[in-house]
């Protein structure tokens, strides 16, 4: 969910199971392309879910990596 200021909500309040790449990159303070590279090489700290050719990043894994 995106707030009025176009900033993603905090992970503590996120209700979705997975986030699209741009929002996950915002929370991880990385460029979206970095997350795409992690997905392609399968060497990042988080593995995305592939849904119809798109990447979805599990919120539970984002929380784990960030310690939220």
The encoded tokens of residue 56 equal 């979805």
Chain-centre distance for alpha carbon 54: 12
Residue 1 has a pLDDT of 54
Share of the chain above pLDDT 90, in %: 82
Average pLDDT across the chain, whole number: 91
The encoded tokens of residue 3 equal 């707030």
Chain-centre distance for alpha carbon 34: 11
**Is the pLDDT score of 47 beyond 60?**
yes
């Amino acid at each position: 969910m995106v707030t009025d200021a176009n900033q993603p909500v905090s992970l503590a309040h996120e209700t979705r199971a997975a986030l699209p790449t741009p929002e996950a990159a915002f929370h991880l303070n990385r460029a979206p392309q970095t997350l795409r590279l992690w997905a392609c090489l399968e060497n990042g700290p988080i593995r995305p879910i592939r849904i119809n050719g798109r990447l979805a990043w599990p919120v539970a894994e984002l929380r784990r990596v960030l310690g939220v």
